Amino acid sequence: MIGSTVQASRLHPETFAALRQSLARQLPAFLSAKRWFGGKARQIAAVDVVDAIPVGGSGAVIFIATVRYQEGAEETYSIPLVPVIVPAGTSSTDAAPRVPLQDGAPVTLDDPFSRQTFLAELLDIIKREEEVSGERGRLRGSRTAAFTELSALSGTVLARLHAGEQSNSSVIYEERLILKFFRRMEEGENPDLEIGRFLTEKARFPHVARIAGSIDYQPQGGQPATQVILQEFVTNQGDAWRYTLKILNEFYQGVGDSAPPRATPASDHVPEFARKPISRLLDDVALLGQRTAELHLALSSNRQDAAFAPEPFTPEFQSSLESSFRELASRTLRDLRARLPDLPAKYHDQCAAVAAREPDILRAFHMAWSAPVNAMRARIHGDYHLGQVLYTGSDFVIIDFEGEPARPLEERRMKQSPLHDVAGMLRSIRYAAFAPLLGAPPGYSISEARTGSMSAWAEAWSGWASKRFLEQYYETSGSAIYLPANAQERARLLQAYMLAKAVYELGYELNNRPEWVGIPLEGIVRLLPSGD
């Protein structure tokens, strides 16, 4: 954006008030265009700017805005913007809000994440443990014992905004630190910070990015909310999702006209021609199963810390969990019926079949949670899949303990069976197997002419990988208190969590990638008893 920065902290109070009012009117359209905004599927009734916090010499202002919807609970978002005076005759081509100053000069509110001064100021708030006051609240920085070691940076720190698609904004400082700026704000400590600090300082689990510091937002008369987390930057070759897709794509391309296996084989029955590209990947999947179990052992290791001490399943908790799963299924299948005409025609019969099995899905959840669960609940990752694991080239680092962002914070902090995470990873493995057959993401796709013949190979690899992951997970967990000793009970719980995950995936795809609904539809059918 061409223009001169306005120091918002020096604006006339009346001008600043007018800026806030004008911004509030423009925010619905602005938010709807942002990747990190979680309310795209809901109708906005109004947006109220409840606080404005000028940040240092960059001219940036962090606006705290409450979004009210036509239906459902309101949400609060943190929106950093920098006022920039636009030269006369300059037109804006983006959706950035524009407001007039008292002298009539137009001001555009630009994104400050492209400005080195703003990125440096965020880091300094943590480094100096500063407090930055706004109109109705303040930001407060803090650093951990690991900060000094992790932040051994040069005098002039170069920062860059992470380019990946995320529900938050991430900044990388000289490949040593990564800062996550949370867009959606909720009262209470974010699980990503809470769990990350526990694993860094108490459990000393080595396969996570260590926490270096944080920034909280403290509103007047309210509870603090996590605004920023600062973590160790882990050198990596990308996440496990991209790594898996790359190897699988090479495997599918190399299959040629080879006959696919007639049945889902055991992991030691990989065809000879496939061993070179696949054996290493299966070994890595087994290692991921080991790291996952080690994570769960670490998260359940402290019985003195009430936030992490394992707790038993109770009839009340199981009843609540069943109700939650049933509500999820009913809502998702209602959306499926409503959106059926807009879905790809090749899925219509499958959609109708799944919608007709709603009673079977509800019955499956009831059967899973009506019997006592002889295991302990513990803190878990909560949104575990291949995209939440970094591949270093020889090992894995687990990241993003925020949980499913669409769920309330207290629900994401709830102790669960670690099999919830296991189910998420097994579903992610199956997604990776079939994603290239759907032509997405770009660069990892199989031609439509070969899709049919490749399905059996995708089924085979999914079977091999799931078996290896699960075997290593159970072996590493051993007799852990979070696993039922009875194998049948263990399988029953895992099946229920996988079914709930497939239903959740269906809802996600309906809202975001309708062309992918085939994967969760198939998963739901496969996870239901065939005789019902």
- Sketch the domain layout of the chain as residue ranges: 4-114, 117-232
Closest to 420 measured CA to CA, from 479, 490, 351: 490
Tell how strand 211-219 and strand 137-143 pair up: antiparallel
Report the 10 Å Cβ neighbour count for 68.
Answer: 13
Give the predicted TM-score (pTM) of the model.
Answer: 0.89
Rounded distance, CA 426 to CA 407, Å?
21
Residue with tokens 């459990």, as numbered in its chain: 203
pLDDT at residue 1, as a whole number: 41
Tell me the three state secondary structure of residue 416: strand
Rounded distance, CA 255 to CA 309, Å?
49
**DSSP H or E run through 142:** strand 137-143
What DSSP state is assigned to residue 435?
A: G
Rounded distance, CA 427 to CA 445, Å?
19
Rounded distance, CA 171 to CA 32, Å?
23
Rounded distance, CA 509 to CA 520, Å?
8
Report the 10 Å Cβ neighbour count for 406.
Answer: 17
Rounded distance, CA 137 to CA 41, Å?
30
Using a 10 angstrom Cβ sphere, with 0-12 exposed, 13-18 middle and 19 or more buried, the burial of residue 362 is middle
CA atoms within 13 A on the CB side of 4: 5
Rounded distance, CA 195 to CA 209, Å?
11
* Residue numbers of the chain with a pLDDT score lower than 50: 1-3, 9-11, 93, 265-267, 532
Q: Is the bond into 441 cis (omega within 30 degrees of 0)?
A: yes
Rounded distance, CA 468 to CA 254, Å?
22
pLDDT at residue 202, as a whole number: 95
CA atoms within 13 A on the CB side of 327: 6
- Assess contact for 481 and 282: CB atoms under 8 A: no
Rounded distance, CA 149 to CA 401, Å?
23
Q: Could you tell me the two tokens for 364?
A: 């499956």
